[in-house]
Amino acid sequence: MWGTKGFLFLAALIGCSGLALVLAACSGGNNATPQPSETAAPRPERSSIPNEIRTPQTDLTITALAPQRFAPIIATTVANTDIVIRLNNTEAGVQHSIEVLDKNAKSLGAIPACTGPCVGELHLNLLPGEYSFRCQIYGRMGGQITAK
Ligand SMILES: [Cu+2]
């Protein structure tokens, strides 16, 4: 009772979603068109940045990673020596800073906030002891520095 016309009518009702033949007809025909390749944005090598640095450093890099975290968060520097603390802000379009504080929460200096990707540095000479650092933009970003 369904003739050819009936079938075509049914296929038209189903549209492009149902039948493979109809789908092929709807796809525009040129299946050789290359798909745009997904070019993944370069990502920071998270696994290569340790969360802890226990060996005293004179040149300490703290990396800001998306989403809003630092690595390392536990760091060690050489005491009674001129040292450099670097901020490597890898989070594109997001501001981070690093302020270093003593155990009484007194600021010893800061690397000003900058919008990633960006870098900054702070020169310090720390007495042996415990210090902390934090981001002045995102206060929950922070960590601990031991000078020894
Ligand atoms: Cu931050």
pLDDT digits (tens, 9 = 90+) for 59-97: 999 999 999 999 999 999 999 999 999 999 999 999 999
The strand pair at 118-125 and 82-89 is best described as antiparallel
Question: How confident is the model over 17-30, as a mean pLDDT?
Answer: 41
CA distances in angstroms from 95 to 20, 43, 66, 144, listed in the order given: 51, 17, 11, 20
Cross-sheet strand order for the sheet of 59-65: 69-71, 59-65, 82-89, 118-125
Res 41: pLDDT: 52
Q: Where are the domains of the chain?
A: 49-147
Query: Looking at the whole model, is its pTM more than 0.75?
Result: no
CA–centroid distance, 97 to ligand 1, in Å, is 6
Closest alpha carbon to 116 in 56, 57, 20, 43? 43
Give CATH for domain 49-147. 2.60.40.420
For 26-30, 37-41, 68-72, 117-121, which range has the lowest pLDDT when averaged over its residues?
A: 26-30
Dist. CA 132 → ligand 1 center (Å): 14
Q: How far is the CA of 79 from the centre of ligand 1 (A)?
A: 26
What's the 117 CA to ligand 1 centre distance in angstroms? 12
Structure tokens at 25: 């007809």
11: CA distance to ligand 1 center in Å?
57
